[in-house]
Amino acid sequence: MTGEDEIIIHGPRVTVPIAYDSLGIQLYKALNDREETPLFIDAFSGEYMTSTTLLRNSCFLGQCLRNFGLAKNDVIAVCSENHVQFFDPVLAGLYSGIIVSLFSPHYTERELLHVANISQPSVIFCSTEASSVILKVKDRLKRTPKVVAIDAKADYGGCQSIQNFIMEYVPASFDVSTFSPFPVNVKEYVAFILYSSGTTGLPKGVMLTHLNYITTITINKPRRDPLSEVSLIIIPLYHVYGLFLGCLRISGGGKGIVMKKFDPDVYLKTIQDYKIERLSIVPSIANFLIKSPLVDKYDLSSLKTVSCGSAALTKVAEEALTKRLHVTDIRQSYGMTESTLSVIGDSKDRTASGACGRAMPNTSVKITDVDTGKSLGPMEVGELWCRGDVIMKGYYNDPEATRAVIDENGWLHTGDMAYYDYDHAFYIVDR
């Protein structure tokens, strides 16, 4: 805490040095250093993407984007359900300082028109499943994008296959070993534009910098043993939480089992067959695990840790989950798209049941009176404000909305009501 008038809860300093290479350079190096093993596996089909194939694909596509004419701070978009090829265009963009905007494949035409007109991507990479709504709206956008299908074998109806796109712009003689990512200023350059309604209104484009994501990965790595870890990724990769899980697998090792939709039997069988030890969930999945009779039909004894994000679990739900899964390590966290991931989370030093954790490393948090802005002490409910290297740069092309949520001292005003106890554990009261 600092000052007599201002009460601030600071997280510990991160113990692992933060590298200031671009996110693209760091992920490229991680793939280059790995042995060829399956990295992403489709839970339904068994289709997989190896680390070596992902490196090759993303380098070819990265060169393709450069030859297509894109450069630093240009924008591409990815619109797909969870797919083993999801990260091909994501990495290709990051390698060249191109901003990657992520669209939900479930957007309606109206929603897609809104978000695509915010970021105005030059190219939209999509799955065939998501392409229909994109093709319906692309000619109505402020900028007409090229549409490329990541999983199509041939061109169709205004959509080019990714193989043909690469063949058109990259000569067959291209040597992948000559490709290298570009450096960028990690504090200033935007890596991703994700979408959030923020505290109010229509979705806005959240600008997350390379430093935002590098810091988030660095903060969370020491809390895990990633080299042999198998993650079950059911949370959408276009969501800040799912995107983090995918990036963590690329940067830290292990493999990710991706599910494009929730199927109860496939979900539980995947935990059983892959002997998942750490489960990342949201409250709706927690509710399924607590109540579904299907849970008893599968061997989930491999589970050691369950981490829940998106919204807080009640004390009753946390206790029910512990009892049902026979797991004592239930971790909660609090964050939002604007904070990249979590600003509050559980560590190995567990907080009280029902709490969402303590301030994360390199992060500061305070509770403020909604009328006066004065910081409050323990057990007093107010608005949660947070600050640190994980806080977004701002809303894309919307300085007014940015000023409304990030003040001149760098505090993000979350709009969420919370309090903390005498052990500095935080509790969310209303989101």
CATH code where residue 128 lies: 3.40.50.980
pLDDT at 215: 95
SS3 of 244-283: the string is HHHHHHHHHCCEEEECCCCCHHHHHHHHHHCCCCEEEECH
Which one is predicted more confidently, 346 or 302? 302
Whether residues 98 and 224 share a domain: the answer is no
CA distance 427 to 109: 38
User: CB under 8 Å to 372, separation ≥6 — which residues?
Assistant: none
- The residue from 185, 214, 247 where one domain ends is 185
Q: What percent of the chain has pLDDT over 90?
A: 82
User: CB under 8 Å to 411, separation ≥6 — which residues?
Assistant: 366, 385, 386, 387
Amino acid at 63: Q
Neighbours of 234 (CB within 10 A): 24
Residue 56 lies in a domain: yes
User: Do 115 and 92 contact (CB within 8 A), yes or no?
Assistant: no
The yes-or-no verdict on residue 2 having pLDDT over 50 is: no
Nearest to 137 by CA among 158, 163, 165, 162: 158
Residue 142 lies in a domain: yes
Provide the strand spans (E) within 80-201.
99-103, 123-126, 146-149, 160-161, 190-196
Across 2-11, 118-127, 200-209, 299-308, the highest mean pLDDT is recorded for 118-127
Residue 181 lies in a domain: yes
Lowest mean pLDDT among 167-181, 202-216, 260-274, 304-318: 304-318
Which helix or strand (DSSP H or E) is residue 333 part of? strand 329-335
Whether residues 285 and 178 share a domain: the answer is no
The yes-or-no verdict on residue 152 having pLDDT over 70 is: yes
CATH of the domain at 311: 3.40.50.12780
Residue 35: φ, ψ to 5°: -75, 160
For 185-227, what is each residue's pLDDT tens digit?
A: 999 999 999 998 755 567 899 999 999 999 999 988 755 555 5
Which one is predicted more confidently, 292 or 353? 292
Residue 196 lies in a domain: no
Mean pLDDT for the stretch of residues 106-129: 96
Residue with tokens 């971790």: 331
User: Do 317 and 286 contact (CB within 8 A), yes or no?
Assistant: yes
For 243-297, what is each residue's pLDDT tens digit?
A: 999 999 999 888 999 999 999 999 999 999 999 999 999 889 999 999 999 999 9
Across 45-59, 273-287, 310-324, the highest mean pLDDT is recorded for 45-59
User: Do 354 and 318 contact (CB within 8 A), yes or no?
Assistant: yes
Amino acid at 201: G
Q: Quote the radius of gyration of the chain (alpha carbons, Å).
A: 21
Side-chain-facing half-sphere of 177: CA atoms under 13 Å: 0
CA distance 346 to 200: 28
Residue 64: φ, ψ to 5°: -60, -45
pLDDT at 198: 55
Whether residues 138 and 210 share a domain: the answer is no
Nearest to 170 by CA among 62, 49, 25, 55: 62
Q: 116: exposed, middle or buried (C-beta count within 10 Å: 0-12, 13-18, 19+)?
A: buried
pLDDT at 100: 98
User: Do 229 and 277 contact (CB within 8 A), yes or no?
Assistant: yes
- Work out how many domains the chain is built from and give that number: 2
Whether residues 141 and 213 share a domain: the answer is no
For 64-75, what is each residue's pLDDT tens digit?
A: 999 999 999 999
The three-state secondary structure class of 284 is helix
Q: What percent of the chain has pLDDT over 70?
A: 95
pLDDT at 132: 95
Nearest to 89 by CA among 12, 13, 146, 6: 146
Residue with tokens 């309604």: 197
For 327-351, what is each residue's pLDDT tens digit?
A: 988 888 899 999 999 999 976 566 6
Residue 1 lies in a domain: no
CA 331 to centroid of chain Cα atoms: 18
Whether residues 125 and 58 share a domain: the answer is yes
Domain extent for 114: 49-185
- The residue from 185, 218, 253 where one domain ends is 185
Mean pLDDT for the stretch of residues 387-405: 96
The yes-or-no verdict on residue 180 having pLDDT over 80 is: yes
Tokens linked to 343:
């600003």
Residue 199 lies in a domain: no
User: Do 220 and 212 contact (CB within 8 A), yes or no?
Assistant: no
The yes-or-no verdict on residue 183 having pLDDT over 50 is: yes
Whether residues 293 and 369 share a domain: the answer is yes
Q: What is the dihedral of CA 50, 225, 333, 400, to 10 degrees?
A: -50
User: Do 98 and 74 contact (CB within 8 A), yes or no?
Assistant: yes
Whether residues 125 and 61 share a domain: the answer is yes
DSSP 228: G
The yes-or-no verdict on residue 124 having pLDDT over 90 is: yes
